[in-house]
């Protein structure tokens, strides 16, 4: 099997689609590099010193913010800039830099390569993460991953580390999909790309060395929304369907604003201003917010949708709508696990360098995927 350092640009002998090596990340600038060093230095401090840095414990809605997370929030708020007035290009670059400050050293895997997958309007870039055990016992499992970023930003690089850890802990090959972004391609482009990519992966299961009956969909935030919409559409269309769905703090409701959207509207990484900024670029005024492709929570019938793990963060504006969606799945007879990480904030899967919590949470998700996709 090829390693990450081995270029592979031609089709393999077993018929796998053409590969290309993963380009190394561009060097961090002086300021982000200093921020990364400072954040990791703070993360290594004893809890007593961290508490001095973080300040008094923060309590809200009956919950206490995790200490490491409180340090992250304090550092982030000090350096955060408003999305208002930024172009999508500027916002995307800001997210790339922010993620690289907190993501830590690269998690190594035996084989990581880039390829393409079918989108609704043409080929999409994709990155495939192959763990050591993927094909140890014949055809392996596959998880199609849709990154977060408000449907406007985020890419293969911003979610590289979470995908690596998910592959490593689940034993499943992970394919991260670079779907089209708004405002250049607003709704329903990303939703249609997500479904097209899933269907293409199923059709190419033999090329990828995976079992078409053991393919899951997964995603965080906007990507959780896309995974939920994909699972719904597969159930209603009657075509191939995912074996499982992993929804990490998903956006599910553009109709009503759940209480957590107000309770945690400011001061916990994802803000109301940012959510409004994303929505204005993803949706047009005439789009029907009740359409389940927009608001999966408002689907008439969830019977037959793939089993799910819904993961939420206690201090997240999207917490309540994610948990409401988990309840709707259960009420429809869908096997659904709900896991709230009470002291965490939106985006916690990126904080791999800043304390053990995020790594442990992702490892737990990987364990559930492992069990759900077992042969």
CA pair distance 197, 259, nearest whole angstrom: 34
346 is catalytic: yes
Q: Are 245 and 223 in contact (CB under 8 A)?
A: no
CA pair distance 50, 209, nearest whole angstrom: 46
On the CB side of 130, how many CA atoms lie within 13 Å of its CA? 20
CA pair distance 23, 33, nearest whole angstrom: 19
Q: Are 116 and 179 in contact (CB under 8 A)?
A: no
Catalytic residue, chosen from 159, 341, 346, 350, is 346
Catalytic residue, chosen from 170, 172, 221, 260, is 221
221 is catalytic: yes
26 is catalytic: no
Catalytic residue, chosen from 192, 193, 316, 320, is 316
Cis peptide before 188 (omega within 30 of 0): yes
Q: How far apart are the first and last CA of the chain?
A: 22
Query: Residue 215, SS3?
Result: strand
Query: Residue 70, SS3?
Result: helix
Query: Residue 140, SS3?
Result: strand
Cis peptide before 183 (omega within 30 of 0): yes
Concatenating the DSSP letter of every residue in 256-274 gives: S--HHHHHTSSSSSS-HHH
**CB-CB neighbours of 221 under 10 Å:** 27
Catalytic machinery residues: 221, 316, 346
């Amino acid at each position: 099997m090829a390693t990450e350092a081995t270029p592979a640009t031609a089709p393999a002998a077993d018929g796998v689609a053409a590969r290309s090596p993963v380009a190394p990340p561009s060097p961090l600038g002086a300021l982000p590099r200093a921020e990364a060093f400072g954040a990791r230095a703070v993360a290594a401090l004893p809890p007593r010193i961290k508490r001095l840095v973080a300040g008094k414990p923060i309590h809200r809605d009956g919950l206490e913010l995790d200490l490491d997370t409180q340090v992250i929030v304090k550092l982030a708020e000090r350096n955060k800039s408003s999305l208002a007035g930024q172009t999508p290009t500027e916002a995307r670059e800001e997210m790339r830099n922010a993620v690289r400050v907190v993501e830590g050293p690269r998690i190594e895997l035996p084989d990581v390569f880039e390829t393409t997958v079918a989108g609704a309007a043409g080929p999409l870039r994709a990155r495939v993460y192959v763990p050591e055990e993927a094909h140890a016992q014949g055809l392996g499992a596959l998880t199609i991953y849709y990154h977060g970023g408000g449907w406007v930003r985020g890419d293969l690089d911003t979610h590289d580390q979470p995908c690596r850890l998910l592959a490593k802990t689940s034993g499943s090959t992970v394919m991260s999909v670079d779907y089209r972004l708004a405002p250049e391609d607003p709704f329903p482009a990303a939703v249609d790309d997500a479904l097209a990519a899933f269907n293409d992966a199923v059709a190419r299961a033999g090329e990828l060395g995976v079992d078409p009956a053991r393919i899951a969909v997964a995603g965080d935030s906007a990507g959780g929304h896309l995974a939920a919409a994909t699972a719904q559409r597969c159930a209603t269309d009657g075509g191939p369907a995912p074996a499982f769905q992993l929804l990490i703090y998903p956006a599910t409701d553009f109709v009503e604003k759940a209480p957590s959207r107000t309770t945690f509207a400011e001061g916990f990484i994802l803000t109301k201003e940012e959510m409004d900024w994303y929505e204005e670029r993803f949706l047009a005024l005439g789009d029907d917010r009740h359409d389940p492709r927009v608001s999966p929570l408002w689907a008439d019938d969830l019977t037959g949708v793939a089993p799910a793990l819904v993961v939420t963060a206690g201090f997240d504006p999207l917490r309540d709508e994610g948990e409401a969606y988990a309840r709707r799945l259960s009420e429809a007879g869908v096997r659904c696990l709900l896991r709230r990480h009470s002291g965490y904030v939106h985006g916690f899967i990126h904080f791999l360098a800043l304390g053990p919590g995020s790594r442990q949470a992702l490892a737990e998700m990987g364990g559930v995927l492992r069990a759900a996709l077992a042969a």
